[in-house]
Amino acid sequence: MKKMTSALIASLLCIGMAGCSQAEPAGTDQPTETGNAEYSVGIVQLVAHPALDAATQGFQDVLKEEFGDSVTFHYQEAAGDSATCVTIANTFVNEGVDLIMANATPALQAAASATNQIPILGTSITEYGVALDISDFNGTVGGNISGTSDLAPLDQQAAMFDEILPDAKKIGIIYCNAEANSVYQAEVVKAELEKSGHTVTVYTFTDSNDVASVTQQAVSENDALYIPTDNTAASCTEAINNVAMPAGIPIITGEEGIASGCGIATLSINYYDLGRTTGEMAVRILKGEDISTMPVEYFMNPVKKYDAERAKALGITIPEGYEPIEK
């Protein structure tokens, strides 16, 4: 079994990953390299934000609980850049890690392109068929890929507009057009909203540089906004909030982290628990289970949550059945 050393990783990354952030996700206590590690696990995370960070933490916690010092993590965060995900994934493959955990869709796509041999577990992936361009996806990817999905019921998210904002007739959907799963979520929610009589307009940004300007256009033309589980939006909630709040435009989101940063409500999964489920799958694989037969696993109990402070500031009454977001 090949082992990675910190020195070799550092030299490779300095050569091949200019500009790549190596900062650890918030709250993550990364193990240091030890000479007697039995398992080497590469983690490629698209960007640092609360949801992805929580998934990575949950994943690591399970493996540390199971293997202790016998597992070594090599964590790299791509600062939101898909090309950097590719470089990270290729580095892990060249070093012969035992397993790759890919956090977010571009990370999974990069890892899938890098190897068809090393087991790959995705997490925070909305729809694997969309992410991996599988037209007849039946729940099991096959080959060397499996993982967990962060998909919450999109029809129920769309229904929240009538529950919370019954007077909002024009809804804008904003997301990053580089994220395939954001496109998928937007299409589903748009169709659901139109079925219930809403007028829906879609607005897309390319990267963080045009988030504020796209949000400004969206709030000027709509009564409320929807943001799916979009990683670029999740890393730019302050910029979105700085536009939407002064305009008095409420936002319903696809996950709790975005709701906490700029929204009023969400139907969200628990990303830490999702990461733990991914970690449990990794344990089974490292102990010899065949990943090709492992179906993608889903978080089965999404929860309706709301941001009490922002809802109050906008004069919005949240109905019963919603839990306040803890901050």
- Predicted confidence (pLDDT) per residue in 209-241, tens digit: 999 999 999 999 999 999 999 999 999 999 999
pTM reported for the whole predicted model = 0.80
Q: What are phi and psi of 262, to 5 degrees?
A: -155, 0
Contact (Cβ atoms closer than 8 angstroms) between residue 202 and residue 173: yes
Buried-state track 39-52, b at ≥16 Cβ within 10 A, e below 16: bbbbbbbbbbbbbb
Q: What is the pLDDT of residue 268?
A: 87
For residue 214, how many other CB atoms are within 10 A of its CB? 19
Give 297-306 pLDDT, tens digit per residue. Answer: 998 889 999 9
Least confident of 59-63, 126-130, 261-265: 126-130
Domain 6-150+271-295 architecture? 3-Layer(aba) Sandwich (3.40)
Query: Is the predicted pLDDT of residue 34 greater than 70, yes or no?
Result: no
In CATH, which of 3.30.1340.10, 3.40.50.2300, 3.40.50.300, 3.40.1030.10 is domain 154-268+303-324? 3.40.50.2300
- Measured distance CA(36)–CA(94) in Å, rounded: 20
Query: Is the predicted pLDDT of residue 26 greater than 90, yes or no?
Result: no
Spatial strand order of the sheet with 251-253 comes to 199-205, 170-176, 224-227, 251-253, 265-268, 303-306, 323-324
Q: pLDDT-derived band of residue 327, with 50, 70 and 90 as boundaries?
A: confident
For residue 101, how many other CB atoms are within 10 A of its CB? 32
- Measured distance CA(218)–CA(214) in Å, rounded: 6
Q: What is the pLDDT of residue 37?
A: 55
Give 279-324 pLDDT, tens digit per residue. Answer: 999 999 999 999 999 999 998 889 999 999 999 999 999 999 999 9
User: Which sequence spans correspond to the domains of the chain?
Assistant: 6-150+271-295, 154-268+303-324
- Measured distance CA(269)–CA(134) in Å, rounded: 24
Give 161-188 pLDDT, tens digit per residue. Answer: 999 999 999 999 999 998 889 999 999 9
As given in the structure block, the two tokens for residue 79 are: 């600062």
Q: pLDDT-derived band of residue 7, with 50, 70 and 90 as boundaries?
A: very low
- Measured distance CA(317)–CA(327) in Å, rounded: 19
* % of residues, the chain, pLDDT over 90: 83
Handedness of CA 320, 322, 326, 327 (dihedral sign): negative
Least confident of 13-22, 150-159, 225-234: 13-22
Give 67-82 pLDDT, tens digit per residue. Answer: 999 999 999 999 999 9
**Average of per-residue pLDDT values in the chain:** 90
Query: Does the fold of domain 154-268+303-324 match that of domain 6-150+271-295?
Result: yes
